[in-house]
Amino acid sequence: MATVKKDISESTERIDAVKEIVKDRASKIDSVDRSYSPLSTGKSWRELEFSHPERVIRLGTMFSGIGAIEQAFHRLKLNFQIAFAGDIDANCKKSYFANYDIKEEDWFTDAREFDASKYKGKVDIIVGGAPCQAFSMVGRRLGFEDARGTLFYEFARVIKETEPKVFIFENVKGLTNHDGGRTWQVMQDIFHDLGYDLHYRVLNSKDYGIPQHRERLFCIGFRKPTKFAFPAPVELEYRMYDFLEDYIDTKYFLKEKGIKFVTSHKNREKCYTQINGEVALCEKRNQQFNWHGDFVFHPVAEGEPTDEAFDEFIFNVKDVEEKYYLSEKVAKYVLSSGTKNFKTSTETDLDVARPLLHSMHKMHRAGVDNYITFKGRIRKLTPRECLRLMGFKDDFKIVVSDTSMYQEAGNSIVVDVLIALLKQMDITKYGK
Instruction: Quickly list DSSP for 182-221.
Output: HHHHHHHHHHHHTT-EEEEEEEEGGGTT--B--EEEEEEE
**Would residue 132 show up in a list of annotated catalytic residues for this protein?**
yes
Run of H or E residues at 384: helix 383-388
> Which of 56, 40, 59 lies closest to 48, judged by CA?
40
Report yes or no: 419 and 71 within 8 Å, Cβ to Cβ. no
Compute the Cα dihedral for 42, 45, 48, 54 and give only its sign: positive
Q: Which residues pair with 183 in a beta bridge?
A: none
b/e for 199-238, b at 16 or more Cβ within 10 A?
bbbebbbbbbbbbbebebbbbbbbbeeeebebbbbeeeeb
Report yes or no: 428 and 58 within 8 Å, Cβ to Cβ. no
Q: What is the 3-state secondary structure (H, E, C) of 273-319?
A: EEECCCCCCCCCCCCCCCCCEEECCCCCCCCCCCCHHHHCCCCCCCC
Q: Which of 92, 132, 219, 386 is catalytic?
A: 132
Query: Residue 305, class by beta-carbon neighbours within 10 Å (0-12 exposed, 13-18 middle, 19+ buried)?
Result: exposed
Alpha-carbon gap, residue 410 to 249, rounded angstroms: 31
Question: How many CB atoms are located within 10 Å of the residue 264 CB?
Answer: 13
Alpha-carbon gap, residue 328 to 308, rounded angstroms: 41
Indicate the DSSP class of residue 353. Answer: B
Report yes or no: 378 and 372 within 8 Å, Cβ to Cβ. yes
Active site residues: 132
